[in-house]
Amino acid sequence: MPFIEENDLLDLHKDVEKSQIINERLLDQIKFKNKDLKKLKIQRNVFVAITGLFLVGTLAITSFTAGLSTSNSNQNNLLVSIDSLEAMKMRSDNLKIQNQELSLVKEFYLAKEFLEKETIYSVQVKSFVENNATLASEALTNTLFVKTNPFYAYSLGNFETLEEAQTFRKQLVNIGFSDAFVASYKDGKRVKIEAAN
């Protein structure tokens, strides 16, 4: 097996680590946005209840004063009611937009759960009879150490598609890891690539 310095290996991991960091930041932002959207949903429900009571009260007052007032005062009350209805319609439209945003966040979490249950592809570069923990470095992420009886497999990268893993494998072969190959894992266990598809 060719010799590779840790700096070269770290360079290989930069692309994988960058995408993981970006993903973690996006997840944190989504969690924060989700909390805000939950608060807005509660506020929306309270606002709808208050608006409903206000509308019922306004209609009751309008119908009560309609019998007591002249036609001019009826028209003035009607104009005020129409303005209030337009404001409520605008608020209702804003709440619909916020509800659509909540739906997008929900869809993202459902997609994330789905991907966690899916197959992950990685490029195996070496296997050992004994657990060789000296290969592990705290600076490296997206590495897999998997026990596949009787060996311990050392793999680099976590990819959602076979094509991404094959591209990374070609990069490793180009720098001297001629025996590197793509392996697939599901729920932390090795599966055949044909079964994964």
DSSP the chain: -----HHHHHHHHHHHHHHHHHHHHHHHHHHHHHHHHHHHHHHHHHHHHHHHHHHHHHHHHHHHHHHHS-HHHHHHHHHHHHHHHHHHHHHHHHHHHHHHHHHHHHHHHHHHHHHHTS-EEEEEEEEESS--GGG--TT--SEEEEEETTEEEEEEEEESSHHHHHHHHHHHHHTT-TT-EEEEEETTEEE-HHHH-
The predicted structure's pLDDT at residue 115:
42
The predicted structure's pLDDT at residue 23:
79
Strand pairing partners for 47?
Answer: none
Checking if the pLDDT of 143 tops 90, the result is: no
**Mean per-residue pLDDT for 9-18?**
71
Most confident segment among 56-70, 93-107, 159-173:
159-173
The predicted structure's pLDDT at residue 110:
59
Task: Please check whether residue 157 is in contact with residue 168, taking contact to mean a CB–CB distance below 8 angstroms.
Answer: yes
**Mean per-residue pLDDT for 160-189?**
87
Q: How far is CA 58 from CA 30, 72, 89, in A?
A: 40, 18, 15
Checking if the pLDDT of 132 tops 70, the result is: no
For 75-118, the pLDDT digits (tens) are: 555 555 666 777 788 888 888 888 888 877 776 565 445 445 67
**Mean per-residue pLDDT for 123-145?**
67
The predicted structure's pLDDT at residue 97:
86
Rg (CA), the chain: 30
The first and second tokens of residue 10, run together, are 């770290």
Q: What mean pLDDT is reported for the chain?
A: 76
pLDDT band at 184 (very low <50, low <70, confident <90, very high): confident
Helices 6-68 and 71-116 pack at an angle, to 10 degrees, of 160
The first and second tokens of residue 34, run together, are 């989700």
The predicted structure's pLDDT at residue 158:
80
**Mean per-residue pLDDT for 153-173?**
88
Q: How far apart are the first and last CA of the chain?
A: 30
Question: Pick the residue with more confidence: 111 or 51?
Answer: 51
Amino acid of residue 116: E
The predicted structure's pLDDT at residue 67:
64
**Mean per-residue pLDDT for 133-142?**
55
For the chain, the residue count is 197
The first and second tokens of residue 121, run together, are 């592809």
